[in-house]
A and B are shown apart, each in its own frame.
Chain A
């Protein structure tokens, strides 16, 4: 079974620039998650999709972050404009009907300078 694919692996941008991350979940997984993990902290849920509908985005900074899930499969997370404090690893995860068996992708490490 192929895992959760994410790209790019690394990204360095200047503050106020925009950036986008892509995630392709495991085939057939209905739920997709985007997490932000700042160095030394645990992952923080930014947004959770069930198929292509949003079920939780309470911690998504909506003034600068946006996310969509196309046709209930792939997803993109965008930051515009980026701030220094957005430097983190952005993890995508997916799960089947059982929400606990989530599998994480390898993540995108974002550095904002």
Chain B
């Protein structure tokens, strides 16, 4: 079982719609969860972090966490063509030395169609 799993997509949504991106993780001890956006040919950039069960909103982005189900999601409201990118889910995992290691999923490619 992969540590962090995402559907690779592509996920296509029309402009103005809500895009829903999902991620599951295997380590029940994980405490911190992140969403990164990566444009083609560019480096990842952090857009959201969430640590507690429930929803966290930042502008058009909402991160949702359910630790019991080991599930984290990202909603993008009023999707814009500029949101077209690969979205990487990342989860912290404690390594054998007691340090936090962030593990990435394979990413979901989002296409927003004008």
- Interface residue ranges, A against B (CB under 8 Å): 40-45, 48, 50, 55-56, 58, 91, 99-102, 104-107
| Residue among B32, B99, B107 making CB contact with A100, cutoff 8 Å | B32
A-B contact count (CB 8 A): 50
Stretch in contact with the other chain, from B11-19, B40-48, B64-72, B75-83: B40-48
Q: Say what secondary structure dominates the interface of chain A.
A: loop
| Residue among B32, B44, B103 making CB contact with A45, cutoff 8 Å | B103
CA of A81 to CA of B107 in the docked complex: distance in angstroms? 30
Give the chain B neighbours of A104 by CB distance below 8 A: 43-45
Q: A42-B88, A58-B95 are in contact. Are A100 and B34 (CB under 8 A)?
A: yes
Q: How far is the CB of A9 from chain B (nearest CB, A)?
A: 11
Give the chain A neighbours of B99 by CB distance below 8 A: 48, 50, 55-56
